[in-house]
């Protein structure tokens, strides 16, 4: 009797093991975030006990000029970093994918991807030394937003190169030859054919490098100047001095913004994909019908 009930339990466990495992993984991934969102609505400073619902930390957030200032600085830095990284990364990717043979290619390839594996602390420290030396020599750049952007772009460019190169590699090269065949000079080929076709990867690279820059602490910490602090730096500073639920509120706003963006983007691409499939199917059906008609009349 006892063995049969334990066997039944075992069977139940086996049947639902996949779902259970999924639940555990989701909890592991999103549990902390849910916890954070919950406590951003806590009515007191307590971070272990939920004492009641309130939006006071959101109000406090709006009045906290350091957090708000940090947010706008991070936004500015991330937008510029994303743009610069994507432009430089696209050039680097183009050279790496399209010119398989030139002197120093493997060195260049190594140098482009080195920041991906280099510890950020070392990148930050070495950049700090470099910036200080350069500033000493030519009076520029002063440590602040500019130096942070330069540092982030170094890292971002490496990521952008990887993303754009992957798309360039899988792109059908014959459409570039077709463009040349139809009278395009090489530069026209790039802007009229290559660029529109790798655009999705440029958008992806921009979003990736934007995010990378927006939540970077290490490089910002090394390269920021007096009075210049990005949002992650402000949050770190607060966390070091004890709990401030305003940070939870800020984090919740960020999470909601990002997830809304991602969900909207996925819905849009999914719809476009479905429309494409439907159209392709309709075209094939039309062709079959026309063949059949031709056979019928012949």
Partner 1 sequence: MNQHDSHPSGFLLTENLVKRFDDVVAVDDVSISIQKGEIFALLGSSGCGKSTLLRILAGFEKPTAGRVLLNGLDIASFPPYERPINMMFQSYALFPHLNIWDNVAFGLKREGMPPAQIKTRVEEMLELVQLTAYAKRKPHQLSGGQQQRVALARSLAKKPQLLLLDEPLGALDKKLRQRTQFELVHIIESVGVTVVMVTHDQEEAMTMASRIAVMSHGRVLQVGTPQEIYECPTNRFVADFIGNINLFDGQLSVDEHDRSEITIDQGVVHIDHGIGGSIGMPLTIAVRPEKIYISKTRPNVNVNLFSGKVREIGYFGSYSSFIVEMQDGRTVVVTEPNGSRLENIDITWDDRVFFWWDEADPVVLTH
Contacts with partner 1, residue ranges (CB under 8 A): 172, 174-175, 177-185, 188, 193, 196-197, 276, 279-280, 282-284, 286-287, 291, 294
CB-count exposure of residue 194 (10 Å: 0-12, 13-18, 19+): buried
Residue 42 in tokens: 């806590």
Least Å distance, CB 184 to partner 1, is 6
The smaller minimum CB distance to partner 1, of residues 204 and 254, is found at 204
| Cβ distance to partner 1 smaller for residue 101 or 240 | 101
Residue number with CB closer to partner 1 (188 or 257): 188
**Shortest distance (Å) from residue 279 CB to partner 1:** 4
Contact 168, 94 (CB under 8 A): yes
Q: In angstroms, what is the minimal distance from the CB of 197 to partner 1? A: 6
**Cβ distance to partner 1 smaller for residue 23 or 178:** 178
How many residues are present in the chain?
Answer: 298
- 19 or 181: CB nearest partner 1: 181
Q: Is the Cβ of residue 48 or residue 182 nearer to partner 1 in the bound state?
A: 182
Give me the least distance between CB of 297 and partner 1, in Å please.
Answer: 12
Q: Looking at beta carbons only, is 52 or 183 nearer to partner 1?
A: 183
Quote the least distance from Cβ 294 to partner 1, whole Å.
7
Name the minimum Å distance from CB 94 to partner 1: 18
Work out how close the CB of 171 gets to partner 1 at its nearest, in angstroms, rounded to a whole number. 10
């Amino acid at each position: 009797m006892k063995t049969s009930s334990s066997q039944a339990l075992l069977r139940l466990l086996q049947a639902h093991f996949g779902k259970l495992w999924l639940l555990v993984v989701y909890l592991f991934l999103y549990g902390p975030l849910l916890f954070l969102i919950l406590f951003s609505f806590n009515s007191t400073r307590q971070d272990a006990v939920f004492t009641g619902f309130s939006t006071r930390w959101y109000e406090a957030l709006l009045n906290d000029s350091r957090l708000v200032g940090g947010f706008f600085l991070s936004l500015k830095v991330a937008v510029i970093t994303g743009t610069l990284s994507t432009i430089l990364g696209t050039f680097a990717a183009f050279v790496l994918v399209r010119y398989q043979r030139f002197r120093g290619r493997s060195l260049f390839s190594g140098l482009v991807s080195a920041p991906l594996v280099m510890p950020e602390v070392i990148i930050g420290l070495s950049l700090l030394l470099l910036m200080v030396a350069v500033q000493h020599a030519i009076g520029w750049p002063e440590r602040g937003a500019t130096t942070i952007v330069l540092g982030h772009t170094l890292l971002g460019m490496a990521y952008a190169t990887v993303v754009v190169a992957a798309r360039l590699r899988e792109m059908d090269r014959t459409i570039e030859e077709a463009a040349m065949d139809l009278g395009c000079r090489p530069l026209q080929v790039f802007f009229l054919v290559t660029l529109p076709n790798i655009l999705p990867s440029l958008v992806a690279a921009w979003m990736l490098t934007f995010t990378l820059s927006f939540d970077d602490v290490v490089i910002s910490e090394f390269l920021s100047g007096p009075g210049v602090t990005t949002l992650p730096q402000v949050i770190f500073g607060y966390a070091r001095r004890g709990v401030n639920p305003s940070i939870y509120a800020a984090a919740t706003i960020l999470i909601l913004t990002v997830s809304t963006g991602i969900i909207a983007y996925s819905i849009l691409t999914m719809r476009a994909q479905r429309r494409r499939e439907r159209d392709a199917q309709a075209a094939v059906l039309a062709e079959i019908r026309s063949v059949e008609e031709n056979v019928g009349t012949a």
